[in-house]
Amino acid sequence: MSLFLIVALPFLGALLPGLMNSAGRQACAGVTFMVTLVALVGLLTHLPAVLAGELVTARVDWIPQLGLNLTLMLDSLGFFFACLILGIGLLIIAYARSYLSRDDHMGEFFTYLLLFQGAMVGIVLSDNVLILLIFWELTSLSSFLLIGYWKHLPEGRQGARMALTVTGMGGLAMIGGMLLLGQIVGSYDLSVILENRELIQASPLYLPALILILLGCFTKSAQFPFHFWLPHAMAAPTPVSAYLHSATMVKAGIFLMARMWPVLSGTPEWFVIVTTAGLITMVLGAVIALFKHDLKALLAFSTVSHLGLITMLLGTGTAFGAMAAVFHILNHATFKAALFMSAGIVDHAVHTRDIRRLGGLRHLMPVTFVIATLAALSMAGIPLLNGFLSKEMMLEETLHTTLFDMPWLVPGLATFGALFSAAYSFRLIGHTFLGKERDDYPDHPHDPQPGLWLPPALLIIPVVVIGLAPFLAEPFVKLVTTSVLGGAAEMPSAHFKIWHGLGPALYMSIIAVVGGLILFALFTPLLRVWEATPRPEAKSIFDRIIAAFVGLSQAISLRLHNGAFSRYAAIMAVTVVVVGYYAWATGTVGAATRALQPTNAVQIAGWLMLVAAACGLVFLHRNRLLSLILIGIVGLIVSAGFVFFSAPDLAMTQLTVEVVTIILLLLALNFLPNRTPIESSVLRRSRDVVVSVGAGLATMALSYHYLLRDTVAPSISEFHLANAYKGGGGTNVVNVILVDFRGFDTYGEIIVLGIAALLIYALTETLLSGPVRARLLNRKPDQPRAGDRHPMMMVVMTRVIMPVVLMVGFYIFLRGHNEPGGGFIAGLIVSIAVVMQYMASGFAWASARLRYPYHGIIGTGVLIAGLTGIGSWFFNKPFLTSDFTYVRIPPFYKFELATAALFDLGVFLAVVGAVMLTLESFSRLARRAHVPEADHPMDIDPSREDNTKAEA
Amino acid sequence: MEFLVASAIGILTASGLYLVLRLRTFPVIMGTSLLTYAVNVFLFASGRLTVGAPPILTDAARYTDPLPQALVLTAIVISFGMTAVVVMIALGAYLGGNDDHVDDPSTEAEERT
């Protein structure tokens, strides 16, 4: 199966549980299970290639200019992790089916789970670091959803937020690190990066890149000092904890360290940072875990500790260390997932996870007891179980590791950590299952149905089998280790054996187990000491830091953003003028190259009207109806200006837009007060005058300046003029630019227009369903209404004129490609024709005759335009490549058929739909506000029966 | 003639900006409309002013610059959409709160002085 499909399957499958939710819980879990199973089978089809040591790749170039390609690769390391993710994922899905209660929304849960699974698989199969980063962030986001799945629990929400903050911050750091790495190597492909060890380690950017990448890994894998988020993430449902904290989320950081091992490891910096962080985390986690009373918290800290162990092993930079790390990843994933699930079973049956309230469960829950005990003993490092093997390899490795010139430091601390690790494992068994049976359990303990115990039981099989026959795991672990080493080091010759003979590592193991037993025996006095020692509480520190940042941001933003919008506008205007002046003052000013063109009386008259209208607007703006008339004058003069300056298309557009805008503003003014009161002081008004006159002078100077000069570089317009007919088949260059050269632009624009109209519709709906509706219904118009609401003259006139206007619109549309016109203008003209009917005979009458909703018209328009664009794909041309031909059907003249006309049709429909939906929404408001609609489209109609009677 | 166009742009900007700085929604909307005219004419004028040479291909020797025209054409239509959205928001705010002030109430007293 293609690697793309393996990664895509969980994402595609994520849609299914949500859809299947109403089909029942079984269907929901079943479909999730199937999706994961198919992905796993697909992965396994690559097993022969992986075993043969081949590199399976899949590649699609996406944005090669940026080095951003969709490339995936599968080597034994990726295969190993993908197997863990999908394999344990299957067990988790089965377990979650039985675990989640009837109140939990199962579709939602499995959708999140699959999203997360897909992101994880994406990380381990990525061959491009940029793609890897995307999946990395996706795991942060989807784990946020999973951890906070129980939205009603505050701990769940806080834990999810904390996890997102910490891992998200690490992700940001890692983006920086990966980009640096890409800069050093000159490629973002992992396979290329991995081959450039010398280049990377010699680069001065190595250290910053290393630190940034490690920040990402450490936050994700909960390494000291970022370990605190993991225990808080335990507020998630147990299946999530088992999945995230055994095989997946926290292993992502480990995976990346292993992946980058060939190029980043082996330097003193790597050794000191990674080994120290791992060692501290391991000891700290183990010590805290012993004193946790919540089963899941204990397991959480033990996970932190084991992750520290693996990190430390990777940090040593030796091949043996890497092999031990890989082996422990496998072992930890099996026993820890089983332990989490067992904790979930106990919680499910007894309704508490507090170890102090448990004990004596071995006879009451024998199956759970066996599973949990075997897993915990493996965690403690007891021989004949898999945990023992990798832990002993770890101890062996520490003997050869010297940190800070103290040869005893690493082995000593490792033994100390292992000792606590044994102790908390014993406590987990002893205080939960052994001891006297109690009579005060919150609920009656019992073994659960197989759905809950089978998945952990299956995990116990490898725990025992590998423990008894380590040689079975050896070839595979060595194969994975080869990938980790990546040729940077020789494969260690050591074999996996239970008995290595008497050696220091065995003595250390014995010390750890015996010491663990002693600690367990002394637990009660130790707990008293622990509780008496003051400890920094990570969550409160974290909360304080967050609160400090929030305070700082608030202080800044509330100061700058105080809600006075007119002040923002003034500040912005002044800034623009000042920056513009600075550019003017520091740049060089070229000489004028164009001569002034002559001016005649008509132009001056037009200019005077414009100036009078604009200034009149300023002085008379308090009378709102008058200001509408004045702004109409401005619009008309601007249209006339467009005609004069050789822009017929613009003039037509401006004129038609003017009509609909004025209608819109009139509709709005119907509700707004029709006068603006005097509120601002003289001082403030003078300030505004200064600001606006300054801005006006600046724009005037700028415009005057460039109107007298030619462009510095030749304009691209020449290309458009030269190719409009040859390439686009039209003589109206403006229209050809709109529907052809810059068709994609236009496509975006009609979508924006459509969205604006839908937004207005949505706002109207919201207004009409809220408290505003009552106010509208009770509203008394502040002016007397016209008695003759649907005057006969107007009704007759608009009916007669309607076909004519439609014809004009059609004509304007058709000729658009070669003469002034086109979809935009035709759309506006047709809208005006329809609006006139609304005005003449009222909203109800007109909308009763409306056959297609305006939303649909917008959608059809966008769809037609989009399909026209896609059509060119079938001819192996880029999106929106146009084509045209000339045909002649007798007796007509020869005429042109162009795909651009089809696109223009889409533009036309979108414009009609958008304009009409906008105006219709406004008039819907108005309709609610008035008395009921009239019964007839005309108030006085001589041809009507009742009128004749009344007259008689 | 260039001076007439440049000064028209300037006057439209100045009066538009003055209205944008007012305290009620309706004059602000009027102001943004005026600014829209100013910006559109400004962009249009970046193709320089040409009389009697529309960009319709004929046998003529010279044409005006078609590119700014195409850009401004869509800008005019889009600005209608923008105006409509702003008017709707202003209307919703007024109908909902019976207040058509632009600024937050807390800053009003401070701004009026």
Q: A308-317, A602-611, A910-919: which has the minimum mean pLDDT? A: A308-317
Cis ω for the linkage preceding B27 (within 30 of 0): no
| A842-852 pLDDT per residue, tens | 888 888 888 88
Q: Is the pLDDT of residue A795 over 60?
A: yes
Contact A143/A167 with Cβ under 8 angstroms?
yes
In angstroms, what separates the C-alpha of B36 from chain A's closest C-alpha? 10
B15: nearest CB among A597, A603, A614: A614
- Give the pLDDT of residue A861: 94
Q: Is the pLDDT of residue A94 over 60?
A: yes
First CA to last CA distance, chain B: 42
- Give the pLDDT of residue B110: 52
A703: nearest CB among B9, B14, B17: B9
In angstroms, what separates the C-alpha of B75 from chain A's closest C-alpha? 9
Element (H, E) at A886: strand A884-887
What residues contact residue A715 under an 8 Å CB cut-off, 6+ apart?
B65, B67
pLDDT band of residue A387 (cuts 50, 70, 90) is: confident
A638: nearest CB among B23, B37, B63: B37
Find the residue in B nearest to A682 (Cα): B113
Test B2 with A731 for CB contact under 8 angstroms. no
- Give the pLDDT of residue A239: 87
d(CA A921, CA A758): 9
Test B50 with A759 for CB contact under 8 angstroms. no
Tell me the residue type at A190. Answer: L
Q: Is the pLDDT of residue A947 over 60?
A: no
Nearest CA-CA partner of A258 in A321, A195, A182, A192: A321
Contacts of A569 in chain B (CB under 8 A): 17, 20-21
The DSSP secondary structure of A461-489, one letter per residue, reads HHHHHHHH-GGGTHHHHHHHHHHHHTTSS
Residue the block writes with tokens 């200064």: A690
- Give the pLDDT of residue B13: 95
Our measurement of the distance from residue A58's CA atom to the centroid of its chain's CA atoms, rounded to an integer in Å, reads 25
Phi, psi of A187 (to 5 degrees): -155, 150
Q: What is the CA radius of gyration of chain A?
A: 37
Contacts of B70 in chain A (CB under 8 A): 734, 737-738, 742
Mutate to test the interface with A, among B74, B89, B98 (most CBs of A within 10 A): B74
Domains and CATH numbers, chain B: 2-51+64-112 (1.10.287.3510)
d(CA B64, CA B43): 14
| A647-667 pLDDT per residue, tens | 999 999 999 999 999 999 988
- Is the CB of residue A688 less than 8 Å away from at least one CB of chain B? yes
> So where are chain A's domains?
1-261, 265-521, 563-587+598-709, 733-943
- Is the CB of residue A779 less than 8 Å away from at least one CB of chain B? no
A363 versus A703: the higher-pLDDT residue is A703
- Give the pLDDT of residue A750: 93
- Give the pLDDT of residue A61: 79
- Give the pLDDT of residue A930: 54
- Give the pLDDT of residue B83: 92
Test A607 with B88 for CB contact under 8 angstroms. no
Contacts of A664 in chain B (CB under 8 A): 80, 83-84, 87
Q: CA-CA distances (angstroms) from residue A420 to A222, A285, A288, A379, A904?
A: 19, 9, 9, 11, 75
Contact A459/A334 with Cβ under 8 angstroms?
yes
Q: In the beta sheet, which residues pair with residue A68? A: A63
Contact A270/A197 with Cβ under 8 angstroms?
no
- Residues A263-271: what's their mean pLDDT? 85
pLDDT band of residue A864 (cuts 50, 70, 90) is: very high
Nearest CA-CA partner of A72 in A86, A87, A56: A56
Q: A340-344, A764-768, A936-940: which has the minimum mean pLDDT? A: A936-940
- Give the pLDDT of residue B106: 64
pLDDT band of residue A233 (cuts 50, 70, 90) is: confident
Contact A20/A13 with Cβ under 8 angstroms?
no
Find the residue in B nearest to A595 (Cα): B2
| A275-285 pLDDT per residue, tens | 889 989 988 88
- Is the CB of residue A401 less than 8 Å away from at least one CB of chain B? no
| A99-136 pLDDT per residue, tens | 888 878 888 888 899 999 999 999 999 888 888 999 99
d(CA B21, CA B25): 10
- Give the rounded percent of residues in chain A with a pLDDT score beyond 90: 21
d(CA A421, CA A287): 8
- Is the CB of residue A567 less than 8 Å away from at least one CB of chain B? yes
Contacts of A679 in chain B (CB under 8 A): 23-24, 112
- Residues A554-576: what's their mean pLDDT? 86
Phi, psi of B24 (to 5 degrees): -110, 155
Test A764 with B30 for CB contact under 8 angstroms. no
Q: A342-351, A601-610, B33-42: which has the minimum mean pLDDT? A: A342-351
d(CA B28, CA A355): 67
Test A566 with B29 for CB contact under 8 angstroms. no
d(CA A776, CA A788): 22
Test B80 with A921 for CB contact under 8 angstroms. no
d(CA A149, CA A160): 9
Phi, psi of B21 (to 5 degrees): -80, 0
* Binding-face residues of A in 898-927 toward B, CB within 8 A: 911, 914-915, 918, 921-922, 925
Contacts of B37 in chain A (CB under 8 A): 634-635, 638
- Residues A482-503: what's their mean pLDDT? 76
Tokens of A132: 């890897």
Contacts of B95 in chain A (CB under 8 A): 671, 767, 772, 775-776, 925
Other CB atoms within a 10 A radius of the CB of residue B45 amount to 22
- Give the pLDDT of residue A946: 60
Q: Is the pLDDT of residue A375 over 50?
A: yes
Q: Is the pLDDT of residue A950 over 50?
A: no
Q: Is the pLDDT of residue A507 over 50?
A: yes
| A731-755 pLDDT per residue, tens | 889 999 988 888 889 999 999 999 9
pLDDT band of residue B70 (cuts 50, 70, 90) is: very high
What residues contact residue A934 under an 8 Å CB cut-off, 6+ apart?
A789, A790, A842
Test A715 with B65 for CB contact under 8 angstroms. yes
Contact A301/A285 with Cβ under 8 angstroms?
yes
Q: Between A and B, how many residue pairs show a Cβ–Cβ distance under 8 A?
A: 324
Nearest CA-CA partner of A746 in A831, A866, A660: A866
In angstroms, what separates the C-alpha of B14 from chain A's closest C-alpha? 4
Test B77 with A657 for CB contact under 8 angstroms. yes
In angstroms, what separates the C-alpha of A803 from chain B's closest C-alpha? 24
Q: Each residue of A517-528: b (16+ CB within 10 Å) or e?
A: bebbeebeeeee
d(CA A831, CA A692): 36
Residue the block writes with tokens 């995936």: A72
Test B24 with A570 for CB contact under 8 angstroms. no
A757: nearest CB among B50, B81, B90: B81
Test A610 with B78 for CB contact under 8 angstroms. no
- Give the pLDDT of residue A948: 47
Mutate to test the interface with A, among B56, B71, B106 (most CBs of A within 10 A): B56
Q: CA-CA distances (angstroms) from residue A258 to A254, A274, A482?
A: 6, 12, 11
- Give the pLDDT of residue B12: 95
Q: CA-CA distances (angstroms) from residue A618 to A566, A604, A795, A933?
A: 16, 21, 36, 38
Contacts of A639 in chain B (CB under 8 A): none
- Is the CB of residue A697 less than 8 Å away from at least one CB of chain B? yes
- Give the pLDDT of residue A929: 57
What residues contact residue A818 under an 8 Å CB cut-off, 6+ apart?
A730, A731, A732, A896, B56
Test B107 with A631 for CB contact under 8 angstroms. no
Nearest CA-CA partner of A494 in A510, A509, A505, A486: A505
- Residues B39-52: what's their mean pLDDT? 91
- Residues A518-534: what's their mean pLDDT? 82
- Give the pLDDT of residue A931: 57
d(CA A516, CA A922): 77
Other CB atoms within a 10 A radius of the CB of residue B97 amount to 11
Q: Is the pLDDT of residue A15 over 60?
A: yes
The three-point CA angle A876-A881-A887 to 5° equals: 105
What residues contact residue A323 under an 8 Å CB cut-off, 6+ apart?
A393, A477, A478, A481, A491, A492, A494
* Binding-face residues of A in 587-626 toward B, CB within 8 A: 594, 596-599, 603-604, 607, 610-611, 614-615, 617-618, 621, 624
First CA to last CA distance, chain A: 88
Q: Is the pLDDT of residue A462 over 60?
A: yes
Contact A59/A191 with Cβ under 8 angstroms?
no
Which one-letter DSSP state was computed for residue B105?
H
- Calculated CA dihedral for residues A576, A579, A584, A585, nearest 10 degrees: 140
Residue the block writes with tokens 């089983």: A338
Instruction: Strands of A93-144 (E only): list them.
Output: none
Q: Each residue of A89-124: b (16+ CB within 10 Å) or e?
A: bbbbbbbbbbbbeeeeebbbbbbbbbbbbbbbbbbb
Q: Is the pLDDT of residue A949 over 50?
A: no
Asked if this assembly's ipTM is beyond 0.90, the reply is yes
Tokens of B50: 């040409």
Sign of CA dihedral A833, A837, A839, A844: negative
Contacts of A638 in chain B (CB under 8 A): 37, 40-41
Contact A185/A200 with Cβ under 8 angstroms?
yes
Contact B88/A665 with Cβ under 8 angstroms?
no
In angstroms, what separates the C-alpha of B62 from chain A's closest C-alpha? 10
pLDDT band of residue A935 (cuts 50, 70, 90) is: low
- Residues B68-84: what's their mean pLDDT? 92
Contacts of B62 in chain A (CB under 8 A): none
- Residues A471-480: what's their mean pLDDT? 83
Find the residue in B nearest to A752 (Cα): B78
Sign of CA dihedral A409, A415, A417, A420: negative
A54 versus A644: the higher-pLDDT residue is A644
In angstroms, what separates the C-alpha of A585 from chain B's closest C-alpha? 20
